[in-house]
Amino acid sequence: MKSIKNGLMAVCMALLFEPVVAQQGVPVHDQQMNAFIGSLIRKMTLDEKIGQLNLLTSTMAVTGPTMQKGYLDDIRAGRCGAILNAYTPDFVRKLQDVAMKETRLHIPLLFGFDVIHGHKTIFPVPLAMASSWDTALIERAARISADEASADGLDWVYSPMVDIARDPRWGRVVEGAGEDTWLGCKIARAYVRGYQSTDLSSDSAVMACVKHFALYGAVEAGREYNVVDMSRRRMFEDYLPPYKAAIDAGAGSVMTSFNTINGIPATADRWLMTDLLRKQWHFNGFVVTDYNAITELIPHGVAGDKAEASALAMHAGVDMDMMGLSYIETLKKLVEENKVPLSEINRAVRNVLVAKYKLGLFKDPYNRMSEQRAKQMIMSDANLSEERETARKSIVLLKNDHEVLPLKKSGTIAVIGPLADDQRDMIGPWSGAGDWHKAVGILEGIRDAVGDKAHILYARGANITDNADIRRQLNASGGNLTPSDQKPEALLSEAVTTAKQADVVIMCLGESQGMTGEAASKADIRIPACQRKLLKAIQAVGKPVVLVLSNGRPLVLTWEEGHVPAILETWFLGTEAGHGIADVLFGDYNPSGKITMSFPYAVGQIPVYYNHKNTGRPRNPDSKYTSKYLDIPNAPLYPFGYGLSYTHFAYSNLKVENPVLHPGETLKVSVTVTNDGNYDGEETVQLYVRDLVGSVTRPVKELRGYQQVFFHKGESKTLHFTLTDNDLSFYNDHMKWTVEPGDFKVFVGGNSRDVLEAPFSIKK
């Protein structure tokens, strides 16, 4: 190994000390990098260049990770630049050895993996973590994920997903931050900072990959891989900003989305990948496709074969092909036939090599493969403690009539439902290298919390679903939906008998992890029918019921809201899920989460989101010819920013210090918040604005600030907010980012619906 390292260093030093032409205004480090990469590219054959653009996959077998022999041959031949799904220090080191010992130029491999919400220590799914509104917490979760992933041999993670999503039928809402652009930007930056740290070349940093570029969260009908069609205004106002926020934070790579955008698949869209991403936003990293996306240009109908698809993607600005084998099979001939210029190949290979340079791989290709670090870092007590804190802070209390919660650790407690004694579903979808056997289920967490202070009864009550078609589809893709050996009627009867013996019933219902995530769109987003039947039967027993939901999307909970006294939204909370849920159920932690995606009153409202436009005929229940439904409210059941506490927060005395502003002046707002309940607790105090008259129509509210403040019971605090011109700006009728004079309103409250308001204006 020492001789290999010495040989590599000799090559690197020789390249680094080639004459460097001084570049005015370019830092010395960047000049050295440019010289190194330029010299290396000049030494590469066309086959070796194209090889760097080819991303292949490893697989995880029962006996451990493995690599197809053909793919190993590709590495030896210089036909592979990166590998996904390969981890563990020993395995990754063996693959890197092939590149470093058996290839002509000893160019190191790049190792990537879907580290979406944790590597081995699995954190809450991203939609859950967003409900914490705590960007420092999210950044720490990403940092721990990077620590574990890098120790396990990984350089590159396919996260964050920053797609704005307003349709909960789409399964991948679970991977994002919800419906709001402004908050989505803050969360995107937190992930990138956490993954990449302050020095991307350090052995504990991994390169972020921003996805899915672009607009993937707006797919029609919430159906996976579907088309997107929207105006440039909506793109720039609502959907594009989180991608740019992540890029401005320094994200090293971007992944293309599967969808078309106004008729052009993203992977073939030069305006998107080059004009916008590189020329306007000055992105200097590399672009990788999603899995097989280049080949899929053929069924999209914009390419007739792989060669044509490759040419379109390369010209658009796509640097690396993930598992489509399109580039490796077609690019050489395309260059020889002058259908793809060599300059585009050089651009792509340079972007990939620069990423490897910034990651420090040319200096030490083995710097992220440490058995010792892996043993110290992975699933350490400190990491699990942080995960538990993140889990309980992600929980949202949706309802708590008659103060059913928190529960006492006494008496007889029945825990009922198919998700109660369940470990696999607790870590959720996209849990990658996570080991669900090490996850804490809800029943286990409750038992740990109460010890011998209370008597715990358990009954499954129902299967997760009795829909055979859903079960077949999910089990075929590795789901865990094996029905109980008991017949549904027997399960239900046992649960009712169990509930009658209890003082209080905890119902653990919702979705399996396979019902959300990629390729898990659903037209019916209610709790599955067999579970609804169970809930109604238990509710009829007459005991206090607490509904604990495990799910990865907003659900339609109209019946539940009307009949169940307490509802706790716990999402999929990760490795320490059961402990985090028990902490909240028994009052060891006062819930403080706030939803970042509106829960619809009915599926027919979708898309439903708080920052909609007013229309020329806003809703008026007393006038037929206004914008409304005849049968349901316009408003969602639970609005963006909503979440209760075991205590109560009263808002008063909203003041605008300077209600008449001139451009360039700051708006100063204050509000008094009082904890007038019986518990200490944290409140997320939210500030929204509305521009009443603009050159284009403006939303009824837009989030522009929030503060998370802890209050002792009985305590009052006056909070202060300051807004700048940028907080009040928008794209005007000429698509120019500007603030316009006129009348405004400011709103402050505990969610987007229940607010105080005050006027202010901006004068010319």
d(CA 349, CA 58): 22
Higher pLDDT, 65 or 181: 181
* pLDDT of the residue at 12: 44
Residue predicted with more confidence, 14 or 443: 443
- Between residues 70 and 684, the one the model is more confident about: 684
Q: CA neighbours within 13 Å on the CB side: how many for 438? A: 13
pLDDT for the residue 68: 86
Q: pLDDT tens digits, residue range 695-754?
A: 999 999 999 999 999 999 999 999 999 999 999 999 999 999 999 999 999 999 999 999
Q: How far apart are CA 571 and CA 577, in angstroms?
A: 9
User: Considering only CA atoms, which of 703, 693, 686, 662 is closest in space to residue 756?
Assistant: 686
Tokens of 480: 């865990």
Q: In the numeric block, which tokens belong to residue 536? A: 């109604």
Q: Report whether pLDDT(6) > 60.
A: no
Span 184-212, pLDDT tens digits: 999 999 999 999 999 999 999 999 999 99
- Cα angle, residue 605 at apex, residues 603 and 606 outer, rounded to 5°: 75
CATH number of the structural domain 383-605: 3.40.50.1700
Contact 257, 197 (CB under 8 A): no
The pLDDT score that the predictor gives to residue 23 is: 53
Confidence class for position 24, pLDDT limits 50, 70, 90 = low
* Active-site pick, 269, 290, 319, 425: 290
The pLDDT value given to residue 275: 98
pLDDT in tens, 367-401: 999 999 999 999 999 999 999 999 999 999 999 99
pLDDT: is 100 or 8 the higher one?
100
The percent of residues above 90 in pLDDT, for the chain, comes to: 91
Question: pLDDT confidence of 2, banded at 50, 70, 90?
Answer: very low
Cβ neighbours of 376 (radius 10 Å) = 11
What is the rounded (10 degree) CA torsion for 243, 244, 247, 249?
-110
Tokens coding 325 = 């084998």
- pLDDT value at 67 more than 60: yes
SS3 194: helix
| Residue 242, amino acid | P
Predicted confidence at residue 637, as pLDDT, reads 98
Rounded Cα–Cα distance for residues 149 and 129 (Å): 19
- pLDDT single digits (tens) 524-565: 999 999 999 999 999 999 999 999 999 999 999 999 999 999
Question: What is the model's pLDDT at position 16?
Answer: 38
Mean pLDDT value of segment 245-249: 98
| Percent over 70 (pLDDT), the chain | 96
Q: What is the mean pLDDT of the chain?
A: 95
The residue count of the chain comes to: 764
> What confidence score (pLDDT) does residue 10 get?
41
The per-residue pLDDT for range 109-152, each reduced to its tens digit, is: 999 999 999 999 999 999 999 999 999 999 999 999 999 999 99
Q: What is the pLDDT of residues 153-164, one digit of tens each?
A: 999 999 999 999
pLDDT-derived band of residue 60, with 50, 70 and 90 as boundaries? confident
pLDDT at 573: 98
Report the top-level CATH class of 45-54+109-373. Answer: alpha beta
Q: Residue 240 is encoded by which pair of tokens?
A: 């594009």
d(CA 68, CA 70): 5
Indicate if 725 belongs to the active site: no
Where does the pLDDT of residue 478 fall: very low under 50, low under 70, confident under 90, or very high at 90 and above?
low
pLDDT tier, 63 (very low <50, low <70, confident <90, very high otherwise): low
410 burial via Cβ count (<10 Å: 0-12, 13-18, 19+)? exposed
The pLDDT, as a whole number, for residue 61 is 63
Average pLDDT rounded to a whole number, residues 85-114: 97
pLDDT at 333 over 70: yes
Residue extents of the structural domains in the chain? 45-54+109-373, 383-605, 649-762
Report the SS3 class of residue 261: strand
Per-residue pLDDT for 635 more than 70?
A: yes
**268-295 confidence digits (pLDDT tens):** 999 999 999 999 999 999 999 999 999 9
Asked if 581 contacts 570 with a C-beta cutoff of 8 angstroms, the reply is yes
According to the CATH classification, is domain 649-762 in 2.60.40.10? yes
> Under a CB-based contact definition with an 8 Å cutoff, are residues 131 and 643 in contact?
yes
User: Locate tokens 């990959």: which residue?
Assistant: 209
